[in-house]
Structure 1
Amino acid sequence: MIRQSRRAVLLATVCLAVAAAARAGEGSGTLAFDELYGKVGVLGLSFSDKLRALKGQTVRMKGFMAPPLKAEAKFFVLTKRPMALCPFCSSDADWPADIVVVYLDRAQTFEQANALIEVTGTLEVGSWTDPETGFVSQVRIVGARFDRV
């Protein structure tokens, strides 16, 4: 009887651990380029409800790596479509609706611009200027890593 009780407790513990792991995976939201902005009005782009809700959380996003500004860059631009040139812009007022800046958590080899990748990292939202490069962004994934899909 005691042996069966221990098995039941062990089985229940394993089930709870599996359920907790599944819930932890749910915390990392999948974000698509079409979900970044809610609408475009006379004042420009407005962030979507989903984007605001995921702010500060771990997100996953698929896209293409635009050619980096320089080889030793700590970041790259994730784009909706493959691009031949990097879509850097002069200010956040000109910020395209289909790019996200990705700051890596560690050095990784850049991928070809036509290779689909999946990025995972923490979502930051709002205008920010990189102090090293002067690059202005509206949406960033930081502490990121990526894998070829």
Structure 2
Amino acid sequence: MQRRKLLAQGLAVGLAWCATRVRAAADTLGFREMYGKVGVLGLSFSAKTQALKGQTVSMQGFMAPPLKAEAMFFVLTEVPMALCPFCSSDADWPNNIVLVYLTERQTFVQNNAPIRVTGKLEVGSWTDPATGFVSLVRLTGAKFSSV
């Protein structure tokens, strides 16, 4: 009887571990997954983006050159960018950028080094009151690491 109970507990722990691994994989959002089809009104968020809204997600990309070294935010892009988002017009920027707000200061990396960012996903047009920067997608309370 003791052996059956031990096996049942082991199975329960294994299933719980598998569930967390599947959940972690589901919380990854790629740049090409952010938007659905372009309609009459322009870009629309994909079903995956809508489903992950308000949840912690991970994204992989590149850090655009920051406004200043001690900033608590940066722009994440799908491909390396040499432009500063605050030094050029919006016409120079791709539409699938993500504004990242850090929980604490981190040392910024070169714009051609891939990084993984994890934070709470916010979607919808929003204007940063301090910088005036307008974003459609944001990761808040974020941290990043090298890939």
Give TM-score scaled by structure 1 length: 0.82
Tell me how far apart the structure 1 counterparts of residues 44 and 16 of structure 2 sit (CA, whole Å).
39
* Residue-pair matches, total: 146
Partner residue of 2:103? 105
Residue 109 of structure 1: CA displacement? Answer: 0.5
Q: Distance in 2 between matches of 1:90 and 1:52?
A: 28
2:79 is matched with 81
CA distance in 1, matches of 2:103, 2:116: 14
Distance 2:85 2:131 in 1: 15
Deviation at 1:5, TM superposition (A): 4.8
- Of 125, 128, 131, 1:127 maps to 125
Cα distance in 2 for residues equivalent to 1:9 and 1:48: 40
Cα-Cα RMSD:
2.5
- Structure 2 alignment gaps of length 5 or more: none
1:52 alignment partner in structure 2? 50
Q: Which runs of 5+ in 1 are unaligned?
A: none
**TM-score, scaled relative to structure 2:** 0.83
What amino acid maps onto 2:20 in structure 1?
A
For residues 28-47 of structure 1, the C-alpha deviation after alignment (integer angstroms, 9 at most, x for no partner) is 2x211111211233422211
Give yes or no for contact 2:71–2:105 (8 Å, CA) kept in 1.
Answer: no
Which residue is equivalent to 1:8? Answer: 7
Paired residue type of 2:103: D
82 and 90 in structure 1: CA distance in 2 versus 1, 3 angstrom threshold: closer
Query: Deviations along 1:14-71, whole A, 9 cap, x unmatched?
Result: 334424533542452x211111211233422211222111111121111110000112
**Inter-CA distance 26–74: structure 2 relative to 1 (3 Å threshold):** same
Letter in 1 for 2:140: V
What is the identity percentage for the equivalent residue pairs of Structure 1 and Structure 2? 63
1:71 match: secondary structure: coil
70-79 or 82-91, which deviates more: 82-91
**Structure with the bigger percentage of strand:** 1
